[in-house]
Amino acid sequence: MTLWENFALGFTYLSPVVGVYSVFDVGMAAGGPPMIWSYFLAAFGQFIVCLTFCEVVSHFRSPADSIPGPAV
């Protein structure tokens, strides 16, 4: 991947994380301690983002793909 593609993927990942922290702070101020359960929802969303990155990265070749392995 190029430097620009790496930057774009990193920026895409970091933007929701920053938003989650600020929204959580507002939620704790407005809703109180029961708002802590919303963190599980946010964690699930981050897990979905992680799965999406796994799918994207699986389409790129690895440098190890060009190393010949033992004959099977």
pLDDT in tens, 17-69: 777 777 878 888 888 888 888 778 878 988 998 898 888 888 877 776 676 76
Predicted pLDDT of residue 53: 83
Predicted pLDDT of residue 2: 81
Predicted pLDDT of residue 71: 61
Rounded to two decimals, the pTM is: 0.50
**Contact status, residue 48 vs residue 56, Cβ threshold 8 Å:** no
Distance of alpha carbon 35 from alpha carbon 46, whole angstroms: 18
Predicted pLDDT of residue 6: 76
